Chains A and B, each alone.
Chain A
């Protein structure tokens, strides 16, 4: 393995971006594992791909669109019944900006 590709601090930053809180043990383990993976995939960095366009979808298929009519929709009560916390026909969450509503 060559130089270290991702540091423990970078790993912690990525976890925070992904809204994951890692224990010290997880952070140590994941840093090593991510570093090993990045080292492996680095082989693509060496390729000269200058003239190639990136592929987003493998096959040249057009979006399949339905007619623009109001169709069947999910039942609101059935959907909300699966929510951890629903109230008054809406999803209830803790304060978003830090203040109690």
Chain B
């Protein structure tokens, strides 16, 4: 059953929330030893919460649009009293004293958390191999990575461990694992979803979004989690139209551009073939398709790998052994800070902190960080021109299908190239999503990325629904 179907059955009393939760907990027990999607399974809490929802239904109250639907949460979303690790030793055992706004909203809508999912440490990575607790495997082929950094959430949905999940996307961390695992993944417009309670990686790029098996489910979840939040000063102050309501409106007459800079060089032929099939499907449904060009998008990766580490080096300064998590003793506070950080952070986090510290340091700031911020402006301007001619853009989500576990861990640059199609959207704050669209030559899922201007989610979801129906 889809999330929407479960909620409908629970609300009408045809199915108990408890039975829905038990089915998914059983799937986790049966399958997660091989996949390692979860850092923590919150079975007992889930049962208690499910029983509460069933009691509400029995009393004639509506528990909400996601009544009794199990959800898996990326382990960088704060859950009060439930360990939140970011898959890092430095936060191991930490139990946040508050919950993220998205966690509260899901709970108010009747959803039931079944666990916290594995991720690249502090969301830094593209394969979920940079976890202090070991890698997650791709459910389609356990010798492959699930993508990352939200690989645990993508794998949980693809494995049937939860009908939907939340992740975070700073440079593609929802869309790329969604593509590699064959599920729907959405990176909403910056500010549409509150970041309060999302452990910060790069604050000007981070955004929370859903994973689901169907476009309809992803829309239902986005409608629940989006909206203004006084706790996040960057959240958009006006409530936006529901994406669910307009899902079935089709793409007749929409102008769709094939984003040349992200669809040609470096894209595997089998992935490119699936994009062409998707474009044909949109055209058959009435969209007017043409080639689109965002010349500066080719600089997205370079700008991203300066801006994101710079912001991360600042955000991660808070892990100093003073207020939470790990402390390794030292003779003085600075010694303690250094000992704690050196023991608590993994290699990739250390690398990014160092890149960021370097890019922000005296003498290099203008050449690297300052320049990258100007490139960001260039990319925003180029997209602005393209949006005068197009309603939506499409590209592959990932240049390749899922790669093998261990294939890129020794070569950070090769790993960073996994994000080439996804990072421009984070730099511009726009909306984008990945929709599964068949398989490559190796039989593994291929995702098509749909890009929309800021707050273009309703139109983006219409195209996603058309693609899904044409598969």
A and B from one complex: yes
B233 in contact with A30 (CB, 8 Å): no
Known: A14-B357, A64-B230. A82 touches B377 (CB 8 A): no
B326 is an interface residue with CB less than 8 A from chain A: yes
Contact with B along A39-58 (1 / 0, CB 8 A): 01101110101001111111
Which residues of A lie under 8 Å from residue B358 when comparing CB positions? 6, 10, 14, 34, 38
Q: A58-B428, A82-B94, A96-B333 are in contact. Are A20 and B412 (CB under 8 A)?
A: no
Given known A20-B345, A21-B342, A79-B97, contact A54–B337 (CB-CB < 8 A): no
B49 within 8 A of A: no
Please name all residues of chain A whose beta carbon is closer than 8 Å to the beta carbon of B373 when the two chains form the complex: 54-56
0/1 string, B189-205, CB within 8 A of A gives 1? 11100000000000010
B191 near A75 with CB under 8 A, answer no
Contact of B299 among A6, A18, A44, A96 (CB under 8 A): A44
Interface size range of chain B in the complex: 35 or more
Of A20, A47, A84, A97, which is within 8 A of B375 by CB? A47
Is A9 at the interface (CB under 8 A from chain B)?
no
Determine whether the beta carbon of B323 is less than 8 Å from that of A30.
no
Interface residues of B (CB under 8 A from A): 94-98, 189-191, 204, 228-237, 299, 301-303, 305-306, 313, 320-327, 329-339, 341-342, 345, 347, 350-351, 353-355, 357-358, 361, 367-368, 370-378, 380-381, 412-413, 416, 427-430, 454
Measured CB to CB, the closest approach of chain B to A78, in angstroms, equals 4
In the assembled complex, the Cα of A95 lies from the Cα of B332 at a distance in Å of 5
- Which A residues lie within 8 Å of B235 (CB)? 64
Say yes or no: A19 contacts B376, CB within 8 Å.
no
Complex: how many Å from CA A59 to CA B454? 8
Q: Which among B189, B302, B320, B347 has the greatest number of chain A C-beta atoms within 10 A? A: B302
Given A15-B354, A34-B351, A64-B233, A54:B338 Cβ within 8 A? no
Shortest beta-carbon distance, B366 to chain A, in Å?
A: 10
Residues of A within 8 A of B354 (CB): 11, 14-15, 18, 20, 30, 34
- Within the complex, the shortest CB–CB distance from B330 to chain A, in Å, comes to 6
Residues of B within 8 A of A11 (CB): 354
Nearest 5 A/B pairs, CB to CB: A58-B429, A54-B373, A84-B327, A66-B230, A49-B374
Interface size on A, residues (CB 8 A): 54
* Contact residues of A: prevailing secondary structure: loop
A78–B323 alpha-carbon span in the complex (Å): 12
Q: How far is the CB of B103 from chain A (nearest CB, A)?
A: 16
Closest chain-A Cβ to B305's Cβ sits at a distance in Å of 6
Question: Looking across the interface, which residue of chain B has its beta carbon closest to that of A85?
Answer: B327
Contact in complex: A37, B305 (CB < 8 Å): yes
Q: List 9 A-B contacts (CB under 8 A).
A: A26-B350, A30-B350, A36-B412, A44-B303, A45-B367, A53-B374, A58-B204, A58-B427, A64-B230
Please give the distance in Å from A34's CB to the nearest CB on chain B.
6
Contact of A98 with B by CB under 8 A: yes
Given contacts A19-B334, A55-B377, A91-B323, contact A41 B302 (CB under 8 A): yes
Contact B428 A83 (CB under 8 A): no
Chain A residue at minimal CB-CB distance from B376 = A55
List 18 other contacts, CB 8 Å, given A34-B351, A84-B322, A93-B322: A17-B357, A20-B342, A20-B345, A40-B301, A41-B303, A41-B372, A44-B299, A47-B299, A47-B375, A49-B371, A57-B234, A57-B429, A74-B97, A82-B94, A82-B96, A83-B324, A84-B327, A93-B336
CB distance from A91 to the nearest CB of B (A): 5
**Given A54-B374, A54-B377, do A43 and B230 touch, yes or no (CB 8 Å)?**
no
Across the interface, do A57 and B204 meet the contact criterion of CB distance under 8 Å? yes
Docked-complex contact B374 and A59, CB < 8 angstroms: no
